[in-house]
Amino acid sequence: MNEKRYQDQENVYHSFICYKCIANEETSDHLAACPVDKEIWKQLEEKIAEKIWDSISSDSQKKVDQH
């Protein structure tokens, strides 16, 4: 996949290596686990979890808290 992206957009992608950590090949799996983005992913997960929790009725939240 990366090779095709690189070939199709050589002016954008100059290398297969992640430009953030410069240590690993930039794959879909790596983009989700790049150590440079670890804190960003953690913050996003917390925000999403909070939005989901807030969308649940307070009665349902109480039921979850009891378990």
Sorted by where each begins, the domain ranges of the chain are 2-66
The reported pLDDT for the residue numbered 65 is 73
The 10s digit of each residue's pLDDT in 17-60 is 888 898 888 888 898 889 999 999 999 999 999 999 999 999 88
Write out the two tokens for 46: 């917390």
The reported pLDDT for the residue numbered 61 is 87
The reported pLDDT for the residue numbered 12 is 66
Which residues are CB-neighbours of 17 under 8 A, at least 6 positions away?
A: 23, 24, 25, 26
The reported pLDDT for the residue numbered 27 is 86
